[in-house]
Amino acid sequence: MSNVPILDTLNKTIKSPPPIWFMRQAGRYLPEYKEIRKLTGGFIELCLNPQMACEVTMQPIKRFNLNAAIVFSDILLVTLALGYKLKFIEGQGPVISPIETEKDITSFNEDKFHTRIKNVYETINRLKEILPKEIPVIGFAGSPWTVAAYMLEGGSSRDYTKIKIWAFTRTKSFQLLIDLLIDATIAYLDKQISAGVQIIQLFDSWAGIAPESIFRKAIIEPTKKIVKQIKSLHPSIKIIGFARGAGAMIRDYASYTGIDAVGLDSTIPLSIASELQNIIPVQGNLDPIALLVGGSALKTETNRIMQSLSSGPFIFNLGHGILPNTPVNNVIELIKQVRS
């Protein structure tokens, strides 16, 4: 037993109350975040400003005393570090210079990669200096499938046609891209851990668009390679895998990737979540809309999750990130309920 509740849970210890943190716990629902956001030239500039990114990361910790701080960054900074053009447009989201052919896939230059993204490591260094020891820093990266989806589509997409076409028909080129992202992700996470993070979360936000055959090859296998290599470099690190929309494939994802805990989106039935606790700690999975609306809906949904999962190793979280219009008081009430 340590004095870090979330690490105890990741070591399969049952904690009461369970540790709690939120995806997108630092963001637009907080007035203090909006004030800092006004001072920066853009979202990427905020992510790459160690002083401001550190301050934003700390905002929900100061407000809510959550059990972990997740470094303020974005999964697509990896594409910037690889030399691709990246920008975020208000109301549209990320825009990346799209990969059209195999020639557009860069080779991995680790020195240039780390130079372009070094400010993220500086943010982590700053966080380690000011956070209490019982509150660890969570570092993260996007999983290769999800990052590849953005790179091939040029940003967000309604149907993700291009990545599926590449995965089905341009298998050699697609594997080249996945391998590049495996190497980049390992290097990125290695540096984050060396800078001071104690927990890693892998975000596979678009896992749900992959049919079974692609899921196994492009999600489970790359995740397994990343986890194995990171564990060989840093044996004590804990890794949470979050494959949003995985559905029935979540069982294989939890069982075969080597992750220490599985993050669950809101569509995963609590009966399956409880079943997974027999093999691995689970994290989740309150619907962000329940947090947005608050009141009796929030209390009912929270009770349902707590009653189903509190008897096993469990980290309370959402099934995805906090929505921008979420009232701060709803977050306060949720934390009170979980901790009571």
Measured between alpha carbons, how far is 26 from 28 in angstroms, rounded to an integer?
Answer: 7
Cα angle: 13, vertex 15, 20; to 5 degrees: 115
Q: Which residue has the tokens 């564990």?
A: 231
**Single-letter residue type at 214:** I
Candidates 24, 33, 188, 244; catalytic one:
24
User: 141 phi and psi, to 5 degrees?
Assistant: -155, 155
| Most distant CA atoms of the chain, gap in Å | 56
Choose the catalytic residue: 29, 33, 74, 160: 74
198 annotated to bind ligand: no
Bridge-based pairing of strands 261-263 and 282-286 is: parallel
229 is in an annotated binding site: no
CB of 149 within 8 A of CB of 160? Answer: yes
Degrees to nearest 5, angle at CA 91 with 324 and 185: 80
Catalytic residue among 28, 63, 170, 216: 28
CB atoms near residue 289 (< 10 Å)? 16
Contact 254, 247 (CB under 8 A): no
Rounded (10°) CA dihedral 289, 293, 299, 305:
0
Q: Residue 220 has what DSSP assignment?
A: I
339 in a known ligand binding site: no
Q: Is 158 a catalytic residue?
A: no
Distance CA 26, CA 118 (A): 21
245 is in an annotated binding site: no
How far is the first Cα of the chain from the last one, in angstroms, to the nearest whole number?
A: 22
The amino acid sitting at 13 is T
Q: Which of 37, 116, 251, 339 is catalytic?
A: 37
Helix locations, 11-107, DSSP H:
31-38, 43-47, 50-64, 77-81
Structural tokens at position 303: 């009770």
311 is in an annotated binding site: no
Q: Any known ligand binding at 150? A: yes
Catalytic residue among 150, 160, 188, 253: 150
Question: Does 25 show up as a binding residue in the annotation?
Answer: yes
Helix (H) or strand (E) holding 138: strand 137-142
Is 63 a known active-site residue?
no
Is 304 annotated in a binding site? The answer is no
Assess contact for 228 and 185: CB atoms under 8 A. no
74 is catalytic: yes
Which amino acid type is present at position 112? Answer: K
**251 known member of a binding site:** no
- The binding site consists of 24-28, 74, 150, 205, 320
- The binding site for substrate consists of 24-28, 74, 150, 205, 320
Query: What residues act catalytically?
Result: 24, 28, 37, 74, 150
